[in-house]
Structure 1
Amino acid sequence: MNPIRMAVLGLLISLPGASYAQQPVAYPAKGQSTETQASDAAYCRNWTQSQTGISQQMANQPAAQQTGPAVGGGQRVRGAARGAAAGAVIGGVANNDAGHGAGVGATAGVVAGGMRARQEKRANNAAAVNQQQNTLATFNQAYGSCMTGRGYTIR
């Protein structure tokens, strides 16, 4: 491959959002022509998809992140209910005012439920990123194996 083509290819590969940005780079080890390399790369992308069920576009998609306020799953409502029950008992015992205790407990329960919702959201986002990294690694490993089998050095 001539130096200008290699420079352009290197630039395209390094651009953010380029579809090949995270794909292994294959170097011809047996003097393959540019056309042969393009044909082999297309074959290996198709083979990889047929073997793994993962397309290159799927492998390069950013992980889906949950955004916005953490309201999910009813954690706040359950926290309020638990807090109100505990507050009513404590308020009734401590100063003979179960209603005030229930109110204070419900407020504390909403806050605690919100904390649980945010923790769950962070855990879900981390799991999505981990799944995406595993998907990309699976695709890249299969693609690299295919290209190695066709006589390329993979980096």
Structure 2
Amino acid sequence: MNVNKVRACCAIVIAMMTLDAVAQSKPIAYPSKGQSAQQQQKDDGACYSWAKSNTGIDPTTASAAPPPQGGPAVGGGERVGGAARGAAGGAVIGAIAGDAGKGAAIGAATGTVAGGMRARQNKRTQEANAQAQSQGAMSTYYRAWAACMQGRGYSIQ
């Protein structure tokens, strides 16, 4: 198994764990001193503002997935690079076999496919890393929010 496949597998596992953690990450505040629902809502808003200003993290933007990178030419040059490497290798093999041009064409096509695979693996890894970073930010925010709510007399789970 090559390094890129291992990275892609790790990225997928991290993304799945992160998505599961995001769904379970917001702590629950229980009014342990008999606070009314209206008071709890008021305290929640105050703690939201306090945690946001003290951590610099806004949970409404931090939990949103980053916009996908790339467009029709997804790959950031991996396909072109793969085609060039494949053409060079194919030309060498083709020259040995007697037809360098045909070998270069076959190598370029194969290199383009390999470059596309590499581009997709890199994109999956980047998405998983962005998701993990977002989860870390949310965890920091929720720790601050929980500290504020505990200070106002709530039990946090």
Shared fold (TM-score, shorter chain, > 0.5): yes
Give the partner amino acid of 2:52: Q
Overall identity of the aligned pairs, in %: 53
1:41-100 residue CA offsets vs partner (Å, 9 max, x unmatched): 11110010101111231244245445877722010000000100111111111x121111
Deviating more after overlay: 134-143 vs 108-117: 134-143
Question: Offset at 1:31?
Answer: 2.0
Q: What's the secondary structure of 2:76's corresponding residue?
A: helix
Q: Structure 2 residue aligned with 1:142, among 141, 144, 147?
A: 144
Q: Which has the higher contact order (CA 8 A, sep 6+)?
A: 2
Matched, 1:88 2:91: yes
Which residue does 1:78 correspond to in 2?
Answer: 81
Unaligned runs of 5+ in 1: 1-20
User: Would the aligned equivalents of 2:75 and 2:115 in 1 still touch at CA under 8 Å?
Assistant: no
Distance 1:106 1:60 in 2: 41
Which residue does 1:121 correspond to in 2?
Answer: 123
Q: TM-score, with normalisation over the residues of structure 2? A: 0.76
Deviating more after overlay: 96-105 vs 62-71: 62-71
Q: Structure 1: which 4+ aligned runs deviate by more than 3 Å?
A: 62-70
Q: What's the secondary structure of 1:118's corresponding residue?
A: helix
Structural RMSD (CA): 2.1
Q: Structure 1 residue aligned with 2:153, among 140, 151, 154?
A: 151
Which residue does 2:101 correspond to in 1?
Answer: 99
- What is the number of equivalent residue pairs in this alignment? 134
Q: TM-score, with normalisation over the residues of structure 1? A: 0.77
1:86-118 residue CA offsets vs partner (Å, 9 max, x unmatched): 11111111x121111101110110011011011
Q: What's the secondary structure of 1:32's corresponding residue?
A: coil
User: Would the aligned equivalents of 1:29 and 1:153 in 2 still touch at CA under 8 Å?
Assistant: yes
Deviating more after overlay: 35-44 vs 96-105: 35-44
Unaligned runs of 5+ in 2: 1-23
User: Would the aligned equivalents of 1:70 and 1:121 in 2 still touch at CA under 8 Å?
Assistant: no
